[in-house]
């Protein structure tokens, strides 16, 4: 199943989400480099640029905006179209495969190369190959900004070593407390290498192919503990926002007899938050309790989900999400590591940390059902 990258990008709009926090760091790095650039044109090349939020967000108000020219490469046509609506005339947005060197023909050598959101979505071998080929995209003294999550096993030290081996000097490496992302800034102090348009940098495989993931919504369970509550709050806000935008006439309609209505899905996720909170509290009080199934299908009928007040449902949902996130924030290491027998996908001893991650999955997964 193709992952909906447009919906994934919505997390950038939710204050405090890991993606929003990473974007802020990347934008600060871009602004600092533009501030320090010598007079004259500044050429920029961006890989897997998405909506171009990093560069274009800075250019909106930066005094060097008119000096920046370059290329954003993005394969998703809708994301590329969104980027074009924000890009100044001097910045081209190309809908093409960012993994092919030929996509950058005419735009390199660049003074700034953005490799943000790439290394977490390609294989380790392709990551190293891309680093080895970066000098072919760079002008003398060019800067490279890159990102990579720091979940175990943290590969960012290897990325930094490989960059050094290819003639890059580290300017900064940002790993903010309470996050699992890293943002690196490196400058090419070694000699650039000739550009070749006949080579492939990488194949974009997406996080679904690299981690323990849901094949339907693309959620990965390999998130760090520090990311759980920011994602919980962010995804709860995104779920509520999408639910509120639904048409009143269709909110109680089942498109198929065995497919819940949007209101029924909202009630289900609200009750998931309530039940998961109860399970986590039980795990704090008892040794390896056996969690009672929530009887998800029976609840739909018994609690008359489709007759409930949508405004009250979403209010209860947000209250429960905030309460759960606050409770998790208060746990110490021992609290996160408490266990209980969880029945999904088969009976197994699960940690509180896994239960919390699975709850975040529920929010993202069922947001996709709100249609």
Within a domain: 217: no
| C-alpha atoms less than 13 angstroms from C-alpha of 344 in its C-beta half-sphere | 13
Among 221, 210, 203, smallest CA distance to 364 is for 221
Q: Are residues 258 and 338 in the same domain?
A: yes
Total-model pTM: 0.70
Residues of the chain above pLDDT 90, percent: 77
Q: What's the pLDDT score for residue 206? A: 63
Domain shared by 170 and 281, yes or no? no
Q: Residue 187's pLDDT is what?
A: 98
Whether residue 163 sits in one domain with residue 41 = yes
pLDDT at 53: 95
Say if 213 falls within a structural domain: no
pLDDT tens-digit map of 320-339: 999 999 999 999 999 999 99
Give the pLDDT of residue 208. Answer: 42
Residue 240 shares a structural domain with residue 202: no
The reported pLDDT for the residue numbered 128 is 96
pLDDT score for 143: 98
Range of the domain at 337: 225-367
Higher-scoring residue by pLDDT: 303, 9 = 303
What does pLDDT average to over the chain?
91
pLDDT recorded at residue 293: 92
| pLDDT (average), residues 40-67 | 96
Asked if residue 126 is part of any domain, the answer here is yes
User: Does a structural domain hold residue 318?
Assistant: yes
Query: Same structural domain for residues 166 and 313?
Result: no
Structurally, how many domains does the chain consist of?
Answer: 2
Task: Report how far apart, in Å, the C-alpha atoms of 4 and of each of 10, 126, 203, 261, 364 are.
Answer: 11, 23, 18, 21, 11
Q: What is the pLDDT of residue 1?
A: 34
Whole-angstrom Cα distance, residue 115 to residue 146?
5
Task: Say which DSSP state 95 is in.
Answer: E
CA–centroid distance for 168 within its chain: 27
Same domain for 195 and 283, yes or no, is: no
Q: What is the rounded distance in angstroms from the CA atom of residue 179 to the CA atom of residue 26? A: 14
Q: Taking 50 as the threshold, does the pLDDT of residue 182 lie above it?
A: yes
Residues 76-122: pLDDT tens digits?
889 999 999 999 999 999 999 999 999 999 999 999 999 999 998 88
Answer yes or no: is 215 within a domain. no
pLDDT over threshold 80, residue 56: yes
Query: Given this model, what pLDDT does residue 120 score?
Result: 87
- CATH number for the domain that contains residue 296: 1.20.120.450
Rounded Cα distance between 147 and 315, Å, is 36
pLDDT digits (tens, 9 = 90+) for 183-236: 999 999 999 999 999 999 999 876 444 446 776 777 778 788 888 999 999 999
Q: Quick one: 58 and 202 in the same domain?
A: yes
User: Which range, of 6-15, 216-225, 248-257, averages the lowest pLDDT?
Assistant: 6-15
| Residue 13, in any domain of the structure | yes
Q: What is the CATH number of the domain that holds 202?
A: 3.40.50.150
* pLDDT tens sequence across 343-363: 887 788 999 999 999 999 999
- What per-residue confidence (pLDDT) applies to 4? 52
Residue 218 in any domain: the answer is: no
Q: Are strands 168-174 and 339-342 parallel, antiparallel or unpaired?
A: unpaired
Answer yes or no: do 359 and 292 share one domain: yes
Of 67, 118, 104, 102, nearest to 88 by C-alpha is 67
217 burial type by CB count under 10 A (0-12 exposed, 13-18 middle, 19+ buried): buried
Domain identity same for 36 and 88: yes
């Amino acid at each position: 199943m193709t992952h909906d990258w447009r919906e994934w990008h919505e997390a950038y709009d939710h204050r405090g989400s890991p993606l929003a926090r990473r974007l802020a760091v990347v934008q600060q790095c871009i602004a600092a480099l533009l501030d320090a650039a010598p007079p004259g044109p500044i050429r920029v090349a961006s890989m897997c640029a998405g909506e171009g939020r990093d560069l274009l967000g800075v250019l909106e108000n930066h005094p060097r905006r008119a000096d920046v020219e370059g290329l954003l490469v993005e394969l998703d046509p809708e994301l590329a179209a969104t980027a074009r609506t924000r890009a100044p005339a001097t910045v081209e947005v190309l809908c093409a495969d960012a993994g092919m060197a030929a996509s950058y023909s005419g735009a390199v050598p660049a003074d700034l190369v953005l490799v943000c959101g790439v290394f977490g979505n390609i294989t380790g071998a392709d990551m190293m190959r891309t680093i080895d080929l970066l000098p072919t995209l760079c002008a003398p003294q060019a800067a490279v900004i890159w990102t990579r999550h720091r979940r175990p096993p943290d590969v960012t030290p290897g990325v930094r070593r490989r960059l050094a081996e290819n003639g890059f000097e580290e300017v900064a490496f940002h790993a903010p407390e309470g996050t699992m992302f890293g943002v690196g800034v490196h400058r090419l102090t070694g000699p650039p290498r000739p550009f070749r348009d006949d080579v492939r940098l990488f194949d974009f495989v997406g996080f679904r192919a690299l981690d323990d993931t849901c094949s339907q919504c693309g959620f990965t369970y390999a998130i760090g503990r520090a990311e759980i509550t920011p994602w919980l709050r962010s995804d709860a806000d995104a779920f509520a926002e999408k639910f509120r935008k639904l048409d009143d006439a269709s909110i109680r309609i089942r498109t198929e007899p065995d497919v819940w209505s949007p209101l029924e899905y909202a009630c289900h996720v609200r009750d998931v938050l309530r039940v998961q909170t109860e399970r986590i509290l039980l795990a704090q009080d008892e040794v390896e309790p056996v969690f009672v199934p929530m009887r998800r299908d029976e609840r739909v009928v018994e609690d008359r989900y489709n007759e409930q007040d949508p405004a009250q449902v979403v209010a209860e949902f947000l209250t429960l999400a905030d309460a759960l996130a606050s409770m998790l924030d208060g746990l110490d290491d021992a609290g996160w590591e408490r266990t209980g027998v969880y029945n999904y996908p088969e009976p197994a001893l699960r940690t509180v940390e896994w239960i919390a991650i699975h709850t975040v999955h529920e929010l993202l997964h069922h947001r996709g059902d709100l249609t």
